[in-house]
Amino acid sequence: MDQNIENKIHNKETGFGTAPVYLTAISTILGAILFLRFGYATGMLGLIGVIFIIILGHAITIPTALAISEISTNIRVEGGGEYFIISRSFGLKIGSTIGIALYISQAISVAFYIIAFTEAFEPLFDWWKRSFEFELPRQIISVPALCLLSYIILKQGTGSGMKLLYIVNVILILSLLFFFIGKPLTESVYSGDVIIDNMKFLNKDSFFVIFAICFPAFTGVTAGVGLSGDLQNPGKSIPLGTMAGTVTGLIVYLLVVWKLAISAPAGDLIGNQLIMSKIAIWGVVIIPIGLASCTFSSAIGSIIVAPRTLQAIALDKSFPVGHLNSFLAHGKGKTLEPVNASVVTFLIALVFVIIGNVNAVAGIISMFFLISYGSLCLISFLNHFGAPPSYRPRFKSKWYISLSGFLLSVWVMFKIDPLYTILAYVAIVFLYLIVEHYNKDQKGLVNIFKGSIFQLNRRLQVYMQKNHSGLDDEEWRPAAICISQNSFEREKVLELMKWISHKHGFGTYFHYIKGYYSKQTYLESRKILAQLIEQCENGDSFYIDTMISPSYTSAIAQIIQSPSISGMENNMVIFEYDKNKSEELVRILENINLVKAGDFDICILGNSTSPIRYRNGIHVWTRSVDEKNTNLMILLGYIILSHPDWSKNYIKIFNISPAGKEKETKKDLEERIAAGRLPVTLTNIEIVTFVENQTIGEIITEHSKYAGLTIIGFREEIIKHEPLAFFDDFHGIGDVLFVNASMSRNID
């Protein structure tokens, strides 16, 4: 987009105060539903039932109004209103997605209000039908009305629309005043009904059906927010105008339904959609005029707001075609009126006006408005919960009010129509995928959730520490730390960390950088960390960091004292070495006692040059003289097998048994496997008889030469007496995981 256009839009001269926000909101709140459907709702549900509808509707809109007021006093709200708030909080990807859906709803709302405007001419249509014996199409009124409105907005700008709002709101007030001073009906078409029944809660089963009919009345609460880009002080005008409109609407709604309930029997309320004209003084004239005024003003509000939403979306370059963004972002004059976006809005509205019936899409429109309201409440709640230092609104709501608004929005969506709810979310997902595909560099959902994740993690870690006592005894799971300086040369240890951390445990991997901590080594560590995160980004579930230290021993001493970010205490240390480089093994063995001092389980991965043969399964080798390591090795085999890399694979357990004890040893293993409910079949338990003059390495090599991974235990005695001879005895097989448990683990 042309940078000059962008700069002009962000720095344009604005002059509107609070009144336009209030008038835009109130003219939409006191709209077609109030005049055409509140009588029907009162007749169907009674006064108490309609009051419940009003309370439920405002239980959603008041938290939304509070959330908007709060957010708008924390950031400079520019053009786009709700879209700007959502996109700057959730990120441009989800913001553009909801913004496009919101814009479509706003554009179709223009048609909805224009079609409702034609209902004010019902006497004309009835007279024509009686006089000429055929019906005039409603488009005779609706199409010219839309064209006139669009001409005024396009030719004269928003200022002319605001002037019209002042006029129609005066007419609206007068029509309501004449209604309130009107008298109850003296003659009823439905003589069997009595007005006193209206005081009850009737037809409770129809509550949500009626709520769905009335809900569009509540969607005006955010109408004035769309003027954000044309306000001199959005942080002041949006809270005042929105809250004032919401409170005014609540009071008027309650007064109107009370007046309807005491003025006409239920049958008349249900059977005559313009029942207010029968109650009001000069109602035959004043109520149709009031209806025409409120619906026309609602259309004005929508046709002012919708193009600004579209212009703001285009300004953020959310559409896949660059020229389309430039076209829609174009503005005219000092205030940069969104002329092109207004033309597009007019054309969309015209299509639906010509169709003449938007009932089929009215539910979806409500769904998108509810998604917007829920999103605004969720933004407020997440900011309260995440408590970022930058969130310092001058107007403050309460976290539980925002949370209730979000939950109610979702709940009401499903109550109104589960199908429309599902379709709305499917449309949102589809739009998000399109926006994400063409805007990969934009920030996604992670933006606003960072603070909440931080708070949740902080509280969980403190909770885990306070309630850690006895946790390992109740249910052991690995919390492994690993250190290696060969992260880019040998990736198998990263694979091992991935397997262990995938489902049942957690891991922290440190890349070791030898040297003293300095600016240079720090910058080097940040670069390496970024490369490792990118290398391991495909679904890995372990944490990655770097460790700068002058020696391998000091690095180990540092990592074994580091806390685990998982909330569990680290309980396992993993080393790795190349089986062809004995000096690497020597360095590990020299530090075993240091690690053992902290009661850590120890795993040493011996890397081979051959690739991992997943299809050949995991071989676990146990011995009766190595009882302490047995359960840990079997558990590790099970944990590793749960990773998708080992899908449809198996664990095979071998036991090297002295001659004559084969049956006893096998029975013990079978009972151990059964008690632990481990996925090891009896056919995968094999007892190998120890033969004199044959080393353990030879026995294991004979059976596990081609295994995907071989797990072997080692005892402390081996470390004390020529350990190299033990570890070097397994050169003939692939990758080997040597295991030493700090204590015997339970697998039941």
Q: What is the pLDDT of residues 372-410, one digit of tens each?
A: 888 888 888 887 777 666 677 777 788 899 899 999 989
pLDDT digits (tens, 9 = 90+) for 532-560: 888 876 556 788 999 999 999 999 999 99
Identify the structural domains of the chain with CATH numbers, from first to last: 3-355+362-446 (1.20.1740.10), 471-586 (3.40.50), 608-748 (3.40.50.620)
Query: Quick check: 257 and 272 in contact, CB under 8 A?
Result: no
Secondary structure class of 738 (helix, strand, coil): strand
Angle at which helix 399-416 crosses helix 418-438, to 10 degrees, equals 110
Q: CB within 8 A of 458, min separation 6: which ones?
A: none
Secondary structure class of 678 (helix, strand, coil): coil
Residue 642 pLDDT more than 80?
yes
Query: Quick check: 249 and 60 in contact, CB under 8 A?
Result: no
Q: CB within 8 A of 554, min separation 6: which ones?
A: none
pLDDT value of position 482: 94
- pLDDT band at residue 11 under the 50/70/90 scheme: very low
d(C-alpha 499, C-alpha 507), whole Å: 10
- pLDDT band at residue 16 under the 50/70/90 scheme: low
pLDDT value of position 440: 63
Instruction: Give the lowest-confidence range in 67-81, 367-381, 553-567.
Output: 67-81
d(C-alpha 636, C-alpha 630), whole Å: 10
- pLDDT band at residue 10 under the 50/70/90 scheme: very low
| HEC readout, 266-292 | HHHHHHCCCCHHHHCCCHHHHHHHHHH
Q: CB within 8 A of 426, min separation 6: which ones?
A: none
d(C-alpha 592, C-alpha 524), whole Å: 29
pLDDT digits (tens, 9 = 90+) for 678-717: 666 677 788 888 777 778 888 888 889 889 999 999 988 8
d(C-alpha 148, C-alpha 152), whole Å: 6
Mean pLDDT, residues 207-223 taken together: 77
- pLDDT band at residue 6 under the 50/70/90 scheme: very low
Percent of the chain with pLDDT over 70: 82
Angle at which helix 92-118 crosses helix 139-156, to 10 degrees, equals 130
User: Which two three-digit tokens encode residue 332?
Assistant: 């005219």
pLDDT value of position 77: 65
For residues 274 and 194, which has the higher predicted lDDT (pLDDT)? 274
pLDDT value of position 666: 76
Q: CB within 8 A of 65, min separation 6: which ones?
A: 221, 222, 242, 243, 246
- On average, the pLDDT of the chain sits at 80
d(C-alpha 225, C-alpha 69), whole Å: 10
- Identify which of 573, 551, 592 has the alpha carbon closest to the alpha carbon of residue 727: 592
How far is C-alpha 59 from the geometric centre of its chain's CA atoms?
22
Residue 12 pLDDT more than 60?
no
For residues 676 and 397, which has the higher predicted lDDT (pLDDT)? 397
- pLDDT band at residue 443 under the 50/70/90 scheme: low
- pLDDT band at residue 78 under the 50/70/90 scheme: low
Q: Which of 175-184, 221-230, 562-571 has the highest mean pLDDT?
A: 175-184
pLDDT value of position 707: 92
Q: CB within 8 A of 609, min separation 6: which ones?
A: 580
Task: Specify which residues 575 forms β-bridges with.
Answer: 604
pLDDT value of position 723: 81
pLDDT value of position 553: 94
- pLDDT band at residue 160 under the 50/70/90 scheme: low
Mean pLDDT, residues 422-433 taken together: 81
Percent of the chain with pLDDT over 90: 17
User: Which two three-digit tokens encode residue 91?
Assistant: 């990120």
What's the angle, vertex CA 569, arms to CA 568 and CA 575, rounded to 5?
115
pLDDT digits (tens, 9 = 90+) for 444-495: 555 556 666 777 777 777 776 666 544 455 567 888 999 999 988 888 999 9
How far is C-alpha 650 from the geometric centre of its chain's CA atoms?
38
Residue 222 pLDDT more than 50?
yes
d(C-alpha 679, C-alpha 659), whole Å: 28
Given the structure tokens 């685990």, which residue do they identify? 564
Mean pLDDT, residues 612-631 taken together: 86
Mean pLDDT, residues 657-681 taken together: 71
CB atoms within 10 A of CB 670: 14
3-state helix, strand, coil in the chain (%, to 5): 65, 10, 25
Q: Give φ, ψ of 9 to 5 degrees.
A: -65, -40
d(C-alpha 687, C-alpha 719), whole Å: 26
Secondary structure class of 45 (helix, strand, coil): helix
State the DSSP string of 612-676: P-GGG-EEEEEEGGGHHHHHHHHHHHHHHHTSGGGTT--EEEEEEE-TT-HHHHHHHHHHHHHHH
Residue 192 pLDDT more than 60?
no
Mean pLDDT, residues 195-204 taken together: 73
Task: Specify which residues 511 forms β-bridges with.
Answer: 484, 546
User: Which two three-digit tokens encode residue 608?
Assistant: 């081979």
Angle at which helix 139-156 crosses helix 339-355, to 10 degrees, equals 180
Cα distances from 363 to residues 254, 432, 434, 440, 729, in angstroms, run 24, 21, 24, 32, 73
pLDDT value of position 576: 94
- pLDDT band at residue 187 under the 50/70/90 scheme: low
Q: Give the residue ranges of DSSP H helices in 536-607.
A: 552-559, 582-589, 592-596
Residue 632 pLDDT more than 60?
yes
Q: Which of 11-20, 114-123, 426-435, 589-598 has the highest mean pLDDT?
A: 589-598
User: Which two three-digit tokens encode residue 64?
Assistant: 């939304």
